Structure 1
Amino acid sequence: MAEVAGGDGERRLRVDLEVDPAEGWECPIVSQTESAADVTVNAVGDECTVEVQPAGEEALRRDRGEVSEDCLCRVFQEFGCVPHVRRVDEGTVLVTSYVDDRDAVREVVSTLRRVLDRVRLVRLAVVSGPESTEQATVDLSALTPKQREGMELAVVRGYFDDDADVSLGDLAGELDISKSALSQRLRGAQAKLATDVFEGAEV
């Protein structure tokens, strides 16, 4: 596990991202299963080993892959960060990493967006130490009523939690809308909240 604060106690940022693989992406994280709550990745040099616990299965699946230029691990390594894959939900990967500042967040996200279909900022938190986390404050008034409804339901149901057991389809069903419509609302809300964090919050 990566250190969340430097030896001198400096604060760092924890960033949680949801990424959708590009067409033809051969990463074993998603090639082994569409949904998994437990994922372990060990990337060394140009090769990685992956263990995943598919949803509803008891046995682990193991696979090896090549760390290519469009690989999550390669991008994070480029910026001196370690990615921690939390889960896979219908092909979407939730990954957490720790960075030094918001500039690093922008650079990582920008690079990922060049090689992946979609990258969404789920959470950005200031971390002062292993036992102390201060969540960044954002202004929800910028959201439309439908965006806020979708975000609030997602938060209440634990959709963004590391151990979430609710899917996008479950949330869409509660709102009686399509998955694509809810996905669009959440993306729009996350984009507004991310802009608020980057432009209005002090780190």
Structure 2
Amino acid sequence: MVRRIPSCLGLFVVASSTLFIATLDARAKECVRYSSTPLGEQVDLLADPMPTFESGQVLTSFGAFAVKLRPAKQVVYPYKSSNDHDAGMGAVLAIEYVPAGTMRISLSAHARLSAIQDNVTLPQAEVEQTEGCPGELQAIDIRSAGGPLILQLSGSTQPRLKMLVAPAPPGLADGGQRELLRARR
């Protein structure tokens, strides 16, 4: 009987780890925040520590980063939008280059977001929440023409939020599964 306990424990560990890996694979398909390495390992792109930027800074590329917000009334917003830029906490960031195609912008806290490219505010498609994406409280898709991108944030209640700017999952990037999205300007 003593020998069966360790073997049962081993089976439990194998079953639990298999279930955990299957959960990560499912999350990787629904969430932009999970990525696979060439070796097949899952990586959480929004895990700490991560680079932190402040309003007015320029990022060289898209990716995962934290944004230190300040009172929106102290932020200089270069583009007017329908968002109330006087409310809550905010920031303005520029990304030097974003490739052409559908990009997903995920936030760890709620905020009003405007994405500007070539002096035009890009239309946004709000992505409905999925339970498989913990830590992503808000996500939008935009269609980039390629080139620099300006992000204007306002209305957040948090002094710091995490942001992930990445290509949208393939099922959405080609126009499929559009029932998950609601168009919003």
TM-score bracket for the superposition, by shorter chain length: under 0.3
Give 1 or 2: higher helix fraction.
1
Structure number with greater Rg is 2
